[in-house]
Structure 1
Amino acid sequence: MNWIEALILGLLQGLTEFLPVSSSGHLEIGKALMGINTENNLIFTIVVHGATVLSTIVVFRKEILELIKSIFSFEWNESNQYIVKIIISMIPIAIVGIFFKDSVEELFNSNRILLLVGFMLLITATLLGFTYYSKQKDKEISYRDAFLIGLAQAFAILPGISRSGSTIATGLFLGNKKSEVAKFSFLMVLVPILGENILGFFDGSFSAQQSVQILPLAIGFCAAFVSGLLACSWMIKIVKQGKLIYFAIYCLIIGLIAIFAA
């Protein structure tokens, strides 16, 4: 992978991480179109995901600081209850990461990855399409809702299933506030992806993969970070305005193209 390819994929990751169109699916489509060998390139995917986590931290820095301060208040207040809900939402993805990590990596290294992405994008399109007909309510996110949204996030480990799309759609199906669903969706992913990056350094996964050099990794990281800043703020407005149906149509079209291309 050269630096130009890394720049393109980084921009693609940053823009699609927050938009409900599956960043992992678009990364795999981008690799396929540019003829990049997906084998041993999981490291690049992890790094650019880390960049978008950093952009999330920047956008929600005030909210994150408030949550951190609340931890040391030692009170069972609304902020600490919110933290517990985020922890509950991480349980399903933690189970997948611990027990099914190798199986997930095999999916990304499969020769049929483009076909899988295409079909999963169709599922994403279906989820987003249903939100157009769901009744909108103003319910607060409960502990049960947090776990169900977490299940959606675990399901989104499949390339082509949009993480933001599936979690936001699940929250809307459950009748939660639009603005709260978007914020919860973006905050709940911080610890799992940061944890994946940290574990990558300690278990030798990063050093074991030599197909991506330092310069492309750095360029991809920066591109994903900058584009992620823009996309995160944009997505919050989109959810409030209830315009997810347009992304359903987009995922449908791209999914069909990926299937035929495969």
Structure 2
Amino acid sequence: MTQDIILQTESLTRDFNGFRAVDSVSLSVRRGHIHAIIGPNGAGKTTFFNLLTNFIRPSAGKVMYEGVNITARSSADIANLGIVRSFQISAVFPHLTLLQNIRIALQKRAGKGLNFWSSKRILNQFDDQAMQILALVRLESLHDKLAVEIAYGQKRALELATTIALDPKLVLLDEPTQGMGHEDVEHIMELVRQVAQNRTVVMVEHNMKVVAGISDQITVLARGKELASGTYSDVSRNEAVIEAYMGRKRKRNIGTAHDNA
């Protein structure tokens, strides 16, 4: 493994009661890249994502991070190595303010844990940095709002802000634009670009506009297997990819043929 590769899987496989959801997938993610995982419904994308952070144990194969085998590590240990994952459902504290949500992430990063009972003086030391991060995602004017009170797209922006606060090396994003309108999608695309400026991003994404717009590399899964890898231009012209999306062989761009992966 070269120093350029931050994450690698080797023949990663997962079986469920005789059904092979992920079938010997070998993936290499380059440091500093945005790497998208796409594929038709039922392709095994989410299962593969779960294998990367040991939310599901593989039946075979291994996951390497920074040249170290992390396959048997707990999810908590993997997070402590600098890998942070977001979920399809927004994972923020709904009854805390936006400022408090970011402050908790900053506490975790500083090794203070989730000490909600810490003195106001101790907690307030994170406020300036938290406001800077909220400004980065254009939420500073809502800093005193409860997370439950803001719109869905703003919650996803808040989740990305907490990710930035944790300062991970590798960010795993699971459907970051799911359920969003056009304006929110554009905003999240820009935020993902910001998140990726000093770190690596791997994302499962269904919106082909997002994939084409911000991805450096794309891996296409179909029926649990890797169908193709390359740039958007490469995979969008691949006959096997077109057939997987369209159900027939036809020379069309997958981004215009089908908007869901």
After TM superposition, the score normalised by the length of structure 1 is 0.25
Report which of the two has the higher share of strand: 2
In our comparison, the structure showing a higher alpha carbon Rg is 2
After TM superposition, the score normalised by the length of structure 2 is 0.25
Report which of the two has the higher share of helix: 1
